[in-house]
A and B are shown apart, each in its own frame.
Chain A
């Protein structure tokens, strides 16, 4: 009698484990690392101009009274090229876009802008991921909503898809108030 009860428990434990595996396998893998800097002010930084086309970017440019979209990107990053049409749309809708080019070179960037357009008012160069560490960014592309006082209000991880545009515009508007 006792032997039967034990094997029943083992069986239940086995199926519970299988159930757990099935559940975890069914969930899409999410390995993004969110920044914990949301709600905090962007630390002081000053990045030189990445190309001759735009001036560089510093923390005082971000805290100039009006909200910005800060796009962390690179010319070598495939999703960054794929999100270019969406950034152009955001710019046409009046979003002030500033960029940070991560581990990039002026020649490559110039070619990138020529092919995909340059929606930015300022582009800072970050050759050693310094700004990424400052704001808790773990890859490219990422897009941050930053309010007029330089406080990070939102982090969008991965490429901006067409369906993300209304959300980003709404958050930008929200950051205005």
Chain B
């Protein structure tokens, strides 16, 4: 599951200042293209993700009878990352592990657990990565601060230009 480790030779080499010619750039590009093909070949030779042939967990594809509870469960499932297909939420994924997680969540919701409690439970096992819900933390705060700073800078620049004109 972890891919064979390989280091790219394109970066970190000792390129001298006298080598800044077009030829070096062509060689660099060719090496990169070659390396890309090599990496693709390795990836292609890896076995495809195996699938079990077990029936899905009880509530993987079956909704809860109570529409209010089902809405709660779905709201949570849409904001949790599938561990197998990491670009998808577990609501969107057909991976069997995502199905198992949906079933687990529906059963917990039906038993009266709150969505945020389940989220914290999963974060306690897999880390913040499993949650798609944006949260301001020590590592994510620039994502929230930078746009505000950019807007302020834009207002400042436009304001100054308008004043200069007027």
Residues of A bordering B, CB below 8 Å: 22-23, 25-37, 74, 76-79, 102-105, 127-130, 132-136, 138-141, 157-159
> Can you give 16 contacting A-B residue pairs, CB < 8 Å?
A26-B7, A26-B12, A31-B86, A32-B1, A32-B2, A33-B127, A34-B127, A76-B52, A77-B50, A103-B96, A105-B54, A129-B101, A130-B104, A133-B125, A136-B126, A157-B1
Shortest Cβ gap from B81 to chain A (Å): 8
The answer on a CB contact under 8 Å between B11 and A36 is: no
Cβ of A157: which chain B residues have Cβ within 8 Å of it?
1-2
For residue B64, CB closer than 8 A to chain A, the reply is no
Cβ of B52: which chain A residues have Cβ within 8 Å of it?
74, 76, 102-104
Cα A102 to Cα B53 in complex, Å, equals 11
The answer on a CB contact under 8 Å between A138 and B8 is: no
Instruction: Name the CB-closest residue of A to B6.
Output: A28
Cβ of A104: which chain B residues have Cβ within 8 Å of it?
52, 54
Cβ of A139: which chain B residues have Cβ within 8 Å of it?
1, 83-84, 97
Interface size class of B (residues with CB under 8 A): 35 or more
0/1 interface trace, chain B 1-45, chain A, CB 8 Å (1 if under): 111011110111000000000000000000010000000000000
0/1 interface trace, chain B 123-136, chain A, CB 8 Å (1 if under): 11111011000000
For residue B51, CB closer than 8 A to chain A, the reply is yes
Instruction: Name the CB-closest residue of A to B4.
Output: A28
The answer on a CB contact under 8 Å between A76 and B51 is: yes
For residue B110, CB closer than 8 A to chain A, the reply is no
Cα A79 to Cα B49 in complex, Å, equals 10
Cβ of A132: which chain B residues have Cβ within 8 Å of it?
97, 100
Pick from B32, B86, B100, B130: contact of A129, CB under 8 Å: B100
Shortest Cβ gap from A28 to chain B (Å): 6
Cα A136 to Cα B97 in complex, Å, equals 12
Cα A77 to Cα B51 in complex, Å, equals 8
The answer on a CB contact under 8 Å between A30 and B2 is: yes
The answer on a CB contact under 8 Å between B11 and A33 is: no
Instruction: Name the CB-closest residue of A to B47.
Output: A78
Instruction: Name the CB-closest residue of A to B12.
Output: A26
Cβ of A134: which chain B residues have Cβ within 8 Å of it?
125
